[in-house]
Structure 1
């Protein structure tokens, strides 16, 4: 007899739209066992399945991990239907392998669903399948984010206000960067080079810029818009503040 945890995992994956063969491979059990569990008396009610979602049921979720994942989603993520379920996908550049690990860990902490990776040209898609990802990301909708209104639901604002550093970190880890700016100045007839770090965040959505600016203000970080699509943080104290919890991508 298999442990209850294995049975629950199999039924949860099936509820998320996985085939019997895919569930069997993920749980390392036979296809016959999966079919028996999903057709037998041990199959949970629909209300039990909903309990896996913190928005549809009573289950609590990791607010810190969610704030970070929300930042990643607003920058490089999307949700798409697949069968009777949905994929949450975050595109992570292969240049920063640590980012893929952080993204995968955050997905797993937020919703009790399997997470996997798909290699693409120049990037890796970190993906998770569940019927409930749209419940957690109501910003989901047709078309690019910059073509529609992006605003946080009241419960999201409460979560992010409690963990603004993680939200800002997720945004900079998706569409941001930390660079060293080099400037040449002439002093007493001689050229001198000065170098100082700064952060940039580039996104086509004014609403997302507004969200980032709101929580940078909450954190006491000075910022300005370099152009219509790029937010910049250049003052020494503000860069040091971001370095304390964002830092360069790795």
Structure 2
């Protein structure tokens, strides 16, 4: 994926009268990519999730440190999972003992982004860094664990607030 500035520059050049081939040479991209941006789909597609996500909306005062959030998301996608069998949902990321800096960084970004509590569980050859979250708490949404595997947002005002941030259930 190319930076939005390059796409905007390519579109400006094309709208000013340059051919697709000239624009492609100017920005150093393939003809087909520039054609796609300028002719096939001149406006970028905004995914539905991006429209609903409280972190992704334009004009929202976002308290989250975006680089820390992106780093934590990468750790989660690579070596993490959510545990919902506890009273509170827990984010668990497993880090190798061979990378102590990674363990420190994981702990740090968990605290910066969403954790009310971070703990390190030593295992053979690795450490499980775990945090209990405050994502719904940050949004001031009341919730509870109604079953060990099921989080519940049941009050009308809390459901309405959650719907504003992630969209209604269908």
Common fold by TM > 0.5: no
Query: Could you tell me the TM-score, scaled by structure 2's length?
Result: 0.42
TM-score normalized with structure 1 length: 0.29
